[in-house]
Amino acid sequence: MRSSRQAGPRFRRPPADDPGDFAALLEVFRQAAAQGVNTAGSGYLAYFPSGGLVSSALAELLAQVANRYTGVAQTAPALVEMEEGVLAWLAGRFGLPPGAGGLVTTGASVATLSAVVAARHDRLGASFGDGTIYVTEHTHYSLAKAAQIAGFPAERVRVVPTTDDLRMNPRAAAAC
CA dist., res. 2 & res. 33, Å (int): 12
Per-residue pLDDT at 1: 41
Please provide the DSSP assignment of 131-175 as one string.
--EEE-TTS-THHHHHHHHTT--GGGEEE--B-TTS-B-HHHHHH
Per-residue pLDDT at 45: 67
pLDDT tens for the chain, 176 residues: list them: 444 556 677 788 888 888 889 998 899 888 888 887 777 777 776 665 555 678 878 888 888 888 787 777 888 888 888 889 989 999 999 999 988 988 888 778 899 999 999 999 999 998 888 899 999 999 988 999 999 999 999 999 999 999 999 999 999 999 98
CA dist., res. 22 & res. 160, Å (int): 52
Give the number of other CB atoms < 10 A from CB of residue 42. 5
Cα–Cα distances in angstroms (integers) from residue 93 to residues 57, 80, 99, 100, 108, in the given order = 24, 20, 13, 12, 19
Per-residue pLDDT at 65: 86
Cβ distance 37 to 7 under 8 Å? no
Among the listed residues 42, 25, 83, the one whose alpha carbon sits nearest the alpha carbon of residue 91: 83
- Dihedral angle of Cα 112, 116, 119, 121, to the nearest 10 degrees: -130
Per-residue pLDDT at 148: 95
